[in-house]
A and B are shown apart, each in its own frame.
Chain A
């Protein structure tokens, strides 16, 4: 096991940052911790790095308890959102710093430093100082510096946040590649669900200090455990109602004049539930159609996103959203009659959340 957290908790005064969090992370795994602001993501990294003390629980690195160990002894490096480079040192000197203070022999030192500079593709910029580098280069320089000390576990706190959106798209897969090439274990914190899905082996959904779900990107995306997860990782439409019938294959939920054919569920017939359907798994066609899982309405707005368009539809069942291929939305006009459809397999049944659906879906 690369890293294990056993029932760790941490409070700052009255504020609960982490509550009874347990997780096992494989050696070499790329784990992404995803959640809204205030979920406890940064605290999780900082306690692993030894920068914050735990209130209770244990942290194990390579099967050894390190809960009380000094940060330097853990073989872990924490990369904060602001890249901690020495401003008066150039790219090379920043990377050499760690090996030098550890007094490694020069041949060994030179080898690892040049390896790291190649890895982050800065071998041609060794003489540049931080202020001469772009945001992305600074970030890669900081990464090379962190990695040059032979760490086995990398803690990345929103490593792409300060970069331009387009550059982020290119760099996110690079981060994963570097981590995999070196065979190190990485924990990457982000609030960006698309980033998480794209690069993670597994995603941890953290909210209010608790783990809501752990799974592969496909599991998180297609089998969310709660309306929050379904709505946070991609958007979803929700319908609340009562289960009318069900069998092994599916269920029928009656929602205020609307019948929704949904996936199978353990929840008993007669219970109040909400049914969620990802907006990316909805289809939209022209004209009004009635029928099971067909919701007629008016196309209010189209927002062009590139590959997809986000469509807003007003219907007697409320405002609905769908993300469809932009070539499909190109055939439709605002104000036109349309119908939103979805397959039974895409409609997931959840119990009504304790605090109500609206509170459940809040993202901040």
Chain B
């Protein structure tokens, strides 16, 4: 049963630090996703686990055993990666049963495993088809079946859906989670797509510049991120710079630009501290009353988003914010003056980052 531990693992390519002193434990049966922008080290990290690369420092343990000297083929893992390369001259069946054949499994076991794997991805009927005749989604499913047919208990998915159309990707991510859970596998799924990372996983790791920023359940990371980078990366949000004005007991009053004020729950800060307030667009509302926890602004644009409307509002603080509201509410139009209400419970507070807010929020 695979439980994977990374202890102070680093990987350097020359002077470039791809992964920096990383510690991570993946429990048996867990579906873990790793997300981060291009170049954050997420793919390198799983290549260290799979044995494609050797770590420069640190230890990787699978079930307590150091795997430093275990070659890739003996690590007992299935691997699926972006734009999976199937053997073009082999049928779906031959591709799927490749590992069992190479490992010389008895016929009966080979056939059963191959059939089981293809049945799981709904491709058993396509067993005699060649990859060139398959859609992108079906090719990727064949790749998944091939990984399952190794009977490995650990499956590594490196951008398994990135080459596919948006819609196919959404359908397949459901399938992936279902399969992994049904078979009781441990899965590590690397993606640059924050929504995919949240939707498939039990826990998600957010990486940046070779380091783990934060680990948590998808809900924790989205609703209560502990780091400002996570808040911005796993979904859209509003960030307002301010400083602590005073703390009259129950609430903490924050002064924003242009003499605007908001209240947030009390916390461990002192007057004058520089902060960043953060809310998700769906946690903001319009209100009519000046007395509530609100900031005035002007609607710049209204966007239809399918199940909701998105308002771009320029606040009196010179901060642009997004406000997502259900379609049914009273319509507001571009140019309208509004009061934007901040619910103190959903408003998170971060220390103002020393490198500046813009730098932390940069996505490229």
Tell whether A105 is near chain B: CB-to-CB under 8 Å: no
Identify A234's interface contact among B198, B223, B307, CB under 8 A.
Answer: B307
Tell whether A169 is near chain B: CB-to-CB under 8 Å: yes
Residue of A nearest to B308 (CB): A307
> What sequence of 0s and 1s flags, for each residue 195-222 of chain A, a beta carbon within 8 Å of any chain B beta carbon?
1011000000000000000001110010
Would you call the interface of chain B mostly helix, strand, loop, or mixed? helix
Q: A363-B168, A364-B168 are in contact. Are A303 and B235 (CB under 8 A)?
A: no
B138, B166, B191, B200 — which one has the most chain A CB atoms within 10 A of its CB? B166
Query: When the two chains form their complex, are residues B198 and A305 in contact, meaning their CB atoms are under 8 A apart?
Result: yes
Query: When the two chains form their complex, are residues B305 and A165 in contact, meaning their CB atoms are under 8 A apart?
Result: no
Give the residues in chain B near A166, CB-CB below 8 Å.
37, 192-194, 233, 363
Tell whether B280 is near chain A: CB-to-CB under 8 Å: yes
Interface size on B, residues (CB 8 A): 44
Identify A310's interface contact among B138, B168, B199, B222, CB under 8 A.
Answer: B199
Give the residues in chain B near A170, CB-CB below 8 Å.
363
Tell whether B236 is near chain A: CB-to-CB under 8 Å: yes
Tell whether B89 is near chain A: CB-to-CB under 8 Å: no
Residue of B nearest to A308 (CB): B307
Give the residues in chain A near B136, CB-CB below 8 Å.
37, 364
What distance in Å separates the Cβ of A191 from its nearest Cβ neighbour in chain B?
Answer: 4
Tell whether B177 is near chain A: CB-to-CB under 8 Å: yes
What distance in Å separates the Cβ of A162 from its nearest Cβ neighbour in chain B?
Answer: 10
Identify A194's interface contact among B138, B178, B200, B306, CB under 8 A.
Answer: B306
Query: When the two chains form their complex, are residues A165 and B195 in contact, meaning their CB atoms are under 8 A apart?
Result: yes
Those of B155-172 within 8 Å (CB) of chain A:
165-168, 170-171
> What sequence of 0s and 1s flags, for each residue 139-168 of chain A, a beta carbon within 8 Å of any chain B beta carbon?
000000000000000000000000011110
Residue of B nearest to A37 (CB): B165
Query: When the two chains form their complex, are residues A303 and B37 in contact, meaning their CB atoms are under 8 A apart?
Result: no
Tell whether B2 is near chain A: CB-to-CB under 8 Å: no
What distance in Å separates the Cβ of B133 from its nearest Cβ neighbour in chain A?
Answer: 13
Query: When the two chains form their complex, are residues A192 and B166 in contact, meaning their CB atoms are under 8 A apart?
Result: yes
Residue of A nearest to B181 (CB): A301
Tell whether A28 is near chain B: CB-to-CB under 8 Å: no
Query: When the two chains form their complex, are residues A304 and B199 in contact, meaning their CB atoms are under 8 A apart?
Result: yes
Tell whether B174 is near chain A: CB-to-CB under 8 Å: yes
Query: When the two chains form their complex, are residues A191 and B166 in contact, meaning their CB atoms are under 8 A apart?
Result: yes
Residue of B nearest to A330 (CB): B219
Residue of B nearest to A325 (CB): B282
Q: Assuming A198-B303, A323-B307, what are 6 further A-B pairs, CB within 8 angstroms?
A: A135-B38, A234-B306, A304-B198, A304-B222, A305-B198, A364-B138
| CB-based closest 6 A-B pairs | A165-B193, A280-B307, A134-B364, A192-B166, A364-B135, A191-B165
Q: Could you list 19 A-B pairs, sorted by A, with CB under 8 Å?
A: A135-B38, A165-B192, A165-B193, A166-B194, A191-B166, A194-B166, A197-B304, A197-B305, A198-B305, A216-B304, A234-B307, A303-B200, A304-B199, A305-B198, A305-B199, A306-B195, A306-B234, A363-B165, A364-B136
